[in-house]
Amino acid sequence: MSTPSRFKKDKEIVAEYESQVKEIRAQLVEQQKCLEQQTEMRVQLLQDLQDFFRKKAEIETEYSRNLEKLAERFMAKTRSTKDHQQYKKDQNLLSPVNCWYLLLNQVRRESKDHATLSDIYLNNVIMRFMQISEDSTRMFKKSKEIAFQLHEDLMKVLNELYTVMKTYHMYHAESISAESKLKEAEKQEEKQIGRSGDPVFHIRLEERHQRRSSVKKIEKMKEKRQAKYSENKLKSIKARNEYLLTLEATNASVFKYYIHDLSDLIDCCDLGYHASLNRALRTYLSAEYNLETSRHEGLDIIENAVDNLEPRSDKQRFMEMYPAAFCPPMKFEFQSHMGDEVCQVSAQQPVQAELMLRYQQLQSRLATLKIENEEVKKTTEATLQTIQDMVTIEDYDVSECFQHSRSTESVKSTVSETYLSKPSIAKRRANQQETEQFYFMKLREYLEGSNLITKLQAKHDLLQRTLGEGHRAEYMTTRPPNVPPKPQKHRKSRPRSQYNAKLFNGDLETFVKDSGQIIPLIVESCIRFINLYGLQHQGIFRVSGSQVEVNDIKNSFERGENPLADDQSNHDINSVAGVLKLYFRGLENPLFPKERFNDLISCITFRSTATRT
């Protein structure tokens, strides 16, 4: 047994216990406060999100309205123009105008999409946040109810522990007092026995009797105290056991509360919060991603139109828009004077020699001119290529303007550093204009030369034909070797029409008689070509071909050639069909005679084939 000073007094133990319980109570209150605070923060966050999306919806609506106004403004402007009428009619418009319309369409699409975005914010996303906020508050209340119950349970357990501890203390104290009383009795008995064991014979009988009853009394008392002690001892043991068991149960309960129940309580508060927030934000993301996809589709359409920015087809379309201005005029025909029956160059004796000389002069002059002009042409073409390179430089990538620095806090605009640093642009443009200047100078020089060559070549070829094959052979051998064999493809003249009867705008019967062709070459050739390449072609005979090409082919046929002879389809099928249509349309007497036309037309209106005769 140690010194009594090491024992804690009952009061101390109780105070210690109470402070420990007080601490737990304080923690429980604190926990509720934390959960409440968390819920408040959530509600605040959800309120912020609602405000944010409400405001953003406003911004998107305004943006959408502005874009709509912008598109409408220009749409209204163009709706009345000729091009737009055209556009409405057949969508077949000049490529830059097409780009312009698609740009406006894209703005309308963006306007529509941002309006949808705003709509989704207001009618879907914000409503979700509202509901999550409601849910959070409700969940917190529910969890508070559960917490209240758990806290009560815990307090009950702690109270129980207090009670059993007190009981233990009481019984133990009683046990100790019973023990000390028992010890006192034992001590008295010992003293009695020691006294009687002294000189027993010295004691008087009376005294001895007195002593005996005293011993008996002490013994009885000792027995009584022994019983009392045993009883108390047992009670104390039981109380201690109860205390220990309750202690164990209390610790387990506290442990369970802190480790498991508290976690469950937080889970109750959280129930559905993250999942619902997830869905709300995913709705926002879905809207944004869809907006992006739509925008991207629109941009792709524009990119496609930009890819199709094409000068050649635009030129074609431009010329077709004004056929009166661009249709080649009738040929100048030989006008015989006062019944002059000769309509060809005559190379009879008196003029033959002179013509021969002139022919030879022309020949050598042409050779020189062609060499010179070929040089000019090369320079012109090289200069044109330089200009083409200048205007097709790929200087349109603006990615670096959109580089976000890692820290989103400070992104500085880099636009000013790109493309248009003014000095470089000015220099480039000056350079380009200088090159243009040179190009046009050379082009004029070339056109002048080629005009002269055309005239001389025409005369030269006519003389050649007039002077006959023998001279041509001679010409072939005497041609200067440094003249390129095919100097200018389109300047190479062909034999004049072999037919006296007109092919286009003439009479078919006369032509057939005159040419000896049962079917005119033009009809045969065009139909053969269309048979080969055109039967799968959409819009054949409906879509008009190239005016230039139609004229080219027509002229070629008029010269008696067959431009569709080679089996390469380097002609546009629509142009070939156009030539055939032009030919039939031009006939002096139509293929279906006028007097039969109405009969034929009315024939088609008969429903049954049987009635058609």
Q: Residues in contact with its own copies, total (CB under 8 A)?
A: 222
- The reply on whether position 369 binds its own copies by CB under 8 A is no
Q: Rule CB under 8 A: choose which of 93, 182, 218, 463 binds its own copies.
A: 463
Is 457 near its own copies (CB under 8 A)?
yes
CA end-to-end span of the chain, whole Å? 143
Instruction: Dig out the tokens for 171 from the structure.
Output: 């019984």
Q: Which is nearer to its own copies, 459 or 528 (CB)?
A: 459
361 binds its own copies (CB under 8 A): no
Please identify, among the stretches 116-124, 364-372, 475-483, 512-520, the one whose residues bind its own copies according to the rule CB under 8 A.
116-124
In the complex with its own copies, which residue's Cβ is closer, 281 or 540? 281
- CB closer to its own copies, 199 vs 339: 339
Window 132-191: residues binding its own copies (CB under 8 A): 138-139, 142, 145-146, 149-150, 153, 157, 161, 165, 168-169, 172-173, 176
Q: Is residue 528 close enough to count as binding its own copies by CB under 8 A?
A: no
Between residues 201 and 402, which has the closer beta carbon with respect to its own copies?
A: 402
- For tokens 């084939």, the residue is 609
Determine if 565 is a binding residue for its own copies (CB under 8 A). Answer: no
Angle at CA 477, nearest 5°, toward 475 and 478?
65
SS3 content of the chain, % helix, strand, coil (to 5): 75, 0, 25
Note whether 39 and 269 are within 8 A (CB).
yes
CA 179 to chain centre: 93
Q: Which residues contact 601 (CB under 8 A, 6 or more apart)?
A: none
Stretch 409-448 residues interacting with its own copies (CB under 8 A): 411, 413, 415-416, 418-420, 425, 429, 433, 436, 440, 443-444, 447-448
Q: Which residues contact 279 (CB under 8 A, 6 or more apart)?
A: 128
Query: What string marks each residue from 63 to 82 as x (binds its own copies by CB under 8 A) or -?
Result: x--xx--x--xx--xx----
Stretch 315-354: interaction string toward its own copies, x if CB under 8 A: x--xx-xx-xxxxxxxxx-xx-xxxx-xxxxx-x-xx---
Query: Which H, E and C letters describe 492-556, residue by residue?
Result: CCCCCCCCCCCCCCCCHHHHHHHHCCCCCHHHHHHHHHHHHHCCCCCCCCCCCCCHHHHHHHHHH
Q: Which one of 275, 353, 473, 600 is in contact with its own copies (CB under 8 A)?
A: 275
Dist CA 282 CA 286 (whole Å):
6
Angle between helices 126-196 and 205-256 (to 10 degrees): 170
Is 459 a binder of its own copies (CB under 8 A)?
yes
Residue 486, exposed/middle/buried by CB under 10 A (0-12, 13-18, 19+)? exposed
Residue 284 or 533: the one with the smaller Cβ distance to its own copies is 284
Residues 24-53: x where in contact with its own copies by CB under 8 A, - otherwise, as a string: x--x--xx-xx---x--xx--x--xx-xx-
State the minimum distance, in angstroms, from the CB of residue 505 to its own copies: 15
Q: How far is the CB of 557 from its own copies (least distance, A)?
A: 14
Q: Which residues of 535-561 are buried (b: 16+ CB within 10 A; e: fewer)?
A: eeeeebeeebbbbebbbbbbebbbeeb
381 binds its own copies (CB under 8 A): no
Q: Which of residues 473-512 bind its own copies (CB under 8 A)?
A: 490-491, 493, 496
Question: Which of 72, 86, 130, 131 is close enough to bind its own copies by CB under 8 A?
Answer: 131
Contact between 237 and its own copies (CB under 8 A)? Answer: yes
Is residue 223 a contact point for its own copies (CB under 8 A)? no
Nearer to its own copies, 28 or 526 (CB): 28
Distance in angstroms (rounded) separating the CA atoms of residues 390 and 385: 8
For its own copies, the closer of residues 280 and 503 by Cβ is 280
CB of 524 to its own copies, least distance (A): 24
Give residue 545's identity as a one-letter amino acid code.
G
- Does 376 bind its own copies (CB under 8 A)? Our answer is no
The tokens for 443 are 């082009």
Torsion angle of C-alpha atoms 89, 90, 94, 100, degrees rounded to 10? 70
Q: Which backbone phi and psi does 535 adopt, to 5 degrees?
A: -70, -25
Query: Site for its own copies (CB under 8 A): which residue of 50, 98, 107, 225?
Result: 107
- Length of the chain (residues): 613
Q: Which of 360, 454, 517, 544 binds its own copies (CB under 8 A)?
A: 454
- Min dist CB 460 to its own copies, Å, is 9
Six-digit token pair at 236? 């104390």
Nearest to its own copies of 192, 547 (CB atom)? 547
Residue appearing with tokens 């409906």: 542
Question: Quick check: 88 and 75 in contact, CB under 8 A?
Answer: no
Which of 432, 423, 431, 425 is closest to 391 using CA atoms? 432
